[in-house]
């Protein structure tokens, strides 16, 4: 089976790393890695490949930045000749970024089966670009690999046949567990002059939070209150840096460039809490047992809030401050590790693919 694995953004790299490593253990599989270039900043792309031990991509489409529609269209245009030449037996996509949807649409139009890793997640907020990507990708995928029971329920409700759905666990946690020792050896705390358990971490990248000046100001007001008590480390996403240049609140934060994977995992694991609008970080903090305040009103990863360490606090500074006080007073639930988040999701994915081999 010849598999074209298509990735394009930082979260994709974390998810594809354990899968390609597992696939390469079997001579039955030939793996081609295609990087769309959706994330092109070195700290968000090249450094991640090195950190995660992912071989250089076989193909880089070098798409770069654009609006969601233009980026999706450009990826499709550049991917068609690659798949025409290579003719893989399966196109594998991960997550919910523009590259995920673009590759799935091209594959299905070319009559190539699609496997979607991290299928079925739903925020039920169609204002999120990722929600549209998730729904459309799942609709055309031949194989849907899920991370939590709610995802399977969503797919069944949308009419996806049960034999297309496989609950395999979370490949992001595979990577997290695989990199724990290297992360523990990171010197990031020393370099930033931080004390374990004495700081918070902030990440923001969602357009609804960053691009709206009033919303961004509201979040910064809440974060400034936390920064008055403990350092807040803010690895700044490229799209967010433009906003910060005009925000006086940035003066109270420790701004850093996007960090290599092992440095960021160490930073999160040693923090008192993480404030984020990222879906993947909700999962990683649950696996690390670190309190997470999600700066959104919805989540597509509900298990992190029902049994994990995550809470959806929204954007109200009062709610964020109240949650922060619970953490400081050690009143935050410890959380549990969800079923099959055991570092073996990639093994289960490959077993499903082995069962699909002819003969």
DSSP of 2-55, one letter per residue? Answer: EEEEEE-SHHHHHHHHHHHHHHTT-TT-EEEEEE--SS-SGGGTHHHHHHHTPP
pLDDT number for residue 59: 96
pLDDT number for residue 46: 65
pLDDT number for residue 156: 98
| 181-328 and 2-170+341-355 share a CATH fold | yes
Residue 179, token pair as written in the block: 């990199």
Task: Specify the CATH number for 181-328; select among 3.30.410.40, 3.40.50.2000, 2.30.130.10, 3.40.50.620.
Answer: 3.40.50.2000
pLDDT number for residue 252: 78
How many Å apart are CA 10 and CA 223, to the nearest integer? 25
Q: Confirm whether 35 is a catalytic residue.
A: no
Which is catalytic among the residues 39, 116, 166, 205?
A: 205
pLDDT number for residue 207: 85
Select from 199, 359, 261 the least CA-distant residue to 11. Answer: 261
pLDDT number for residue 65: 82
The CATH H-level superfamily of 2-170+341-355 is Glycogen Phosphorylase B; (3.40.50.2000)
Domain ranges of the chain: 2-170+341-355, 181-328
pLDDT number for residue 41: 59
Query: Could you list the pLDDT tens digit for every one of the 359 residues in the chain?
Result: 999 999 998 899 999 999 999 999 999 999 999 999 976 555 555 667 778 888 889 999 999 888 899 999 999 999 999 999 999 999 999 999 999 999 999 999 999 999 999 999 999 999 999 999 999 999 999 999 999 999 999 999 999 999 999 999 999 999 999 999 999 999 999 999 999 999 999 999 888 898 888 998 899 999 999 999 999 999 997 767 777 776 776 777 999 998 999 999 999 999 999 999 999 999 999 999 999 999 999 999 999 999 999 999 999 999 999 999 999 999 999 999 999 999 999 999 999 999 999 86
97 and 38 in contact (C-beta within 8 Å)?
yes
* Collapsed DSSP state (helix, strand, coil) of residue 305: helix
Model-level pTM? 0.95
How many Å apart are CA 230 and CA 85, to the nearest integer? 55
């Amino acid at each position: 089976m010849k598999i074209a694995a298509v990735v394009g953004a930082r979260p994709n790299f974390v998810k594809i790393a354990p899968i390609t490593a597992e696939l390469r253990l079997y001579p039955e599989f030939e793996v081609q890695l295609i990087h769309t270039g959706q994330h092109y900043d070195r700290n968000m792309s090249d450094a991640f490949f090195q950190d995660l031990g992912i071989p250089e991509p076989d193909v880089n489409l070098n798409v770069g930045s654009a609006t969601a529609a233009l980026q999706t269209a450009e990826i499709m245009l550049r991917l068609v000749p690659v798949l025409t030449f290579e003719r893989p037996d399966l196109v594998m996509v991960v997550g919910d970024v523009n590259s995920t949807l673009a590759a799935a649409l091209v594959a299905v139009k070319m009559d190539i089966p699609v496997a979607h890793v991290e299928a079925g997640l739903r925020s039920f907020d169609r204002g999120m670009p990722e929600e549209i990507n998730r729904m459309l990708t799942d609709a055309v995928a031949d194989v849907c690999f899920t991370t939590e029971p709610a995802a399977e329920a969503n797919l069944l409700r949308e009419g996806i046949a049960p034999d297309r759905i496989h609950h395999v666990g979370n490949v992001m946690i595979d990577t997290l567990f695989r990199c724990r020792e290297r992360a523990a050896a990171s010197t990031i705390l020393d370099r930033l002059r931080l004390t374990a358990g004495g700081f918070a971490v902030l990440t923001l990248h969602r357009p609804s939070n960053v691009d709206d000046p009033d919303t961004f100001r509201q979040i910064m007001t809440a974060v400034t209150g936390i920064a008055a008590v403990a350092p807040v480390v803010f690895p700044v996403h490229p799209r967010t840096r433009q906003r910060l240049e005009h925000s006086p609140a940035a003066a109270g934060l420790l701004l850093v460039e996007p960090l290599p994977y092992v440095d960021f995992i160490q930073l999160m694991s040693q923090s008192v809490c993480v404030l984020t609008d990222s879906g993947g970080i909700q999962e990683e903090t649950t696996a690390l047992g670190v309190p997470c305040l999600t700066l959104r009103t919805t989540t597509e990863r509900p298990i992190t809030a029902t049994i994990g360490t995550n809470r959806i606090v929204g954007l109200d500074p009062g709610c964020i401050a109240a949650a922060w006080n619970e953490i400081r007073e050690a009143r935050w639930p410890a959380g549990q590790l969800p079923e099959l988040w055991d570092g073996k999701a990639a093994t289960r994915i490959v077993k499903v693919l082995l069962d699909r081999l002819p003969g």
